[in-house]
Each structure stands twice: as C-alpha cells, then as structure tokens.
Amino acid sequence: MISVQPEAEERRAHKRAVRQAFDRAAASYDAAAALQREVSARLADFVLAHAAGPTPRRILDGGCGTGHGQAALARLWPQAERIALDFAPAMLAHLPAGAAARLCGDLESLPLADASLDIVWSSLALQWCEPATALREIARVLMPGGRAWIATLGPETLWELRAAFAAVDDDRHVISFHPLTHWLESAAYAGLDCSAQDGSRVYAQATDLKRLLRDIKQIGAHRTGPGRRRKPLGRAAWSRLESAYERHRLPDGSLPASYDLILLCLEKPA
Ligand SMILES: C[S@@+](CC[C@H](N)C(=O)[O-])C[C@H]1O[C@@H](n2cnc3c(N)ncnc32)[C@H](O)[C@@H]1O
C-alpha cells in the first residue's frame, strides 16, 4: 500500500483548485487584468534596463495566461521562437493565434528538456508555486548563461484586505506571499545567480469593495493556499469587512489594493 503524505496531498489539492480557478477565470480574465498588463510592461522595462548579451533563440513564457506577455516578448526578442506554457488549458485557449507554441504544463515540473531555453519570462505566475521547486525546474531547462526574468509578488500584497479581514475573524482569507529573501535563497539553492532585482508597488483600484474583490477573483487570485475551505461571509461579517476597508479610501474616491511587486533577473552561470 502506498501512503501519501497529508501535506503533499494537500498541496496537490491546492494546485488543482488554483488551476480550476484560472480555468474558470479565463473568459473574463482580459477585462479584469489591467494590473497584469501594467506588471508585464514593468517587467519589459526591467529587461530593457538590464538585458545584454546574445540574441536568444528560444524563450518560455511560464504561466502565460491569455498571453499578455506575448507582445512585449515579440518586441524585446523578435527573432526568438516563443513557447507559451500554462497549466490551465482554458487560459491557453485564449492565446492569440500564432503568438507562440502552446504548451500545457506545470511550472513545478516543466515538460521541457534540460538546457533547452535561453530565456524564461514569467509574469505573475510563480507566486502560485513553491519557489524552490519552480526555480530548480527553471535552472534545469535554462542553458548555461541563460536568464530568467521574473515578476512575482511579495508579502505586502493585498495588505489592506488582510487587515480588513482581521477585523472580522481569525481565519486566513488572503493568500500569503513569500518575501524577497525566500526567492533569493531558493534561487541560490537552485544554482541561479541574481544579477538584478527591483521592488515597487502597483495598485488596483475600484469604486467599492465588491468590485475590488470581483477583480481579484476574476483574475483567479482568490485562493488562500492549502487547507480547509472557508464558509462564505455572513451579512454582518461582510458589513464589518466593508467598514474596515473604508479607511483605505483615497481622496479620488477609489478603494485601492496594493500589489508588492518583486522583479528578478536570475542567471544560470555559463
Ligand atoms: C495571474 S495569471 C498571469 C498570466 C500572465 N503571465 C499575465 O501576465 O497576464 C497567472 C497564470 O499562471 C498560471 N499558473 C499558476 N500556477 C501555475 C503552474 N504551477 N504551472 C503553470 N501555470 C501556472 C495560471 O493558470 C495563470 O494563467
């Protein structure tokens, strides 16, 4: 009899739930993904500020979603062959025709040969992964001298929402994000050198909390992590949440949600 570690089983169930959430979100994703477009643009600027070296031949867009990164990749490296990978088939189905070769697969177990890529680009996908596992895979598929350009999220992401939920109950309602130090340690452990890093804030805004949460949900970002499912909030709890969030309302009348953006350039030593 094979005994499955409860933690491993919980992680698998969580991954399945994240994939299903993104599959369900695919049709509405583009309309709610202003923040993703902004992050792709910042990652492209980061590449322009730090990239040098030979023209890459093959690039992976890891966790490509509906393909927001494709236009930036085509501008940055027009000659390169592009592979767009995502584990949610419905996301891949929305990729513009002819943009890239589509590959359904997991960032934590890439269906690609060792040393087969010059560049890995990954914008807002790796925060759903275990950093050590995903970076080990990225290191494996990169050629020596290859680089990974990564945009991911740090622990201050959605802090307003976390603080507002704390006024409601002690449950964990908002996903936790790894700090920069954890990414850097995992990169070093995977054999990748960090040759550039940057941090900044990006904000989503909506007129009210319902819309803000709907946008977070529509981009599939509402899973909290492994563990039991929570019951929906009752009316009294919702109203406590709304009033706790009100203290963040900006002078222009909008409610913000902060995203703590981490940009990394990780290099596989030549
Ligand atoms: C927030 S979206 C970002 C998509 C795109 N990079 C963009 O900038 O719009 C995150 C994407 O990562 C994918 N994803 C999350 N975890 C993944 C994993 N372990 N393997 C492959 N794709 C994953 C999701 O299915 C989703 O399409």
**Is ligand 1 within 6 A of the CB of residue 128?**
yes
Task: Report the mean per-residue pLDDT for the chain.
Answer: 90
**Is ligand 1 within 6 A of the CB of residue 77?**
no
User: What's the rounded Cα separation, in Å, for the pair 258 and 103?
Assistant: 31
**Is ligand 1 within 6 A of the CB of residue 127?**
no
Q: What is the mean pLDDT of residues 201-227?
A: 78
Quick check: 4 pLDDT over 60?
no
Q: How confident is the model at residue 1 (pLDDT cuts 50, 70, 90)?
A: very low
Question: Has residue 106 been placed in a domain?
Answer: yes
DSSP, collapsed to helix, strand or coil, labels residue 134 as: helix
Question: Has residue 23 been placed in a domain?
Answer: yes
Q: Which atom of ligand 1 is nearest to the CA of 91?
A: 27
- Paired with 260 in beta bridges are 201
Q: How confident is the model at residue 2 (pLDDT cuts 50, 70, 90)?
A: very low
Question: Has residue 140 been placed in a domain?
Answer: yes
Please give the distance, rounded to the nearest whole angstrom, from the Cα atom of residue 214 to the centre of ligand 1: 18
Q: What is the pLDDT of residue 102?
A: 97
What pLDDT, in 10s, does the model give residues 126-178?
999 999 999 999 999 999 999 999 999 999 999 999 999 988 887 888 888 99
The CATH number of the domain holding residue 22 is 3.40.50.150
Question: Has residue 129 been placed in a domain?
Answer: yes
Total domains, the chain: 1
Question: Has residue 218 been placed in a domain?
Answer: no
**Is ligand 1 within 6 A of the CB of residue 29?**
no
User: What's the rounded Cα separation, in Å, for the pair 11 and 130?
Assistant: 10
What residues make up the domain containing 182? 6-158+176-205+259-267
Please give the distance, rounded to the nearest whole angstrom, from the Cα atom of residue 125 to the centre of ligand 1: 4
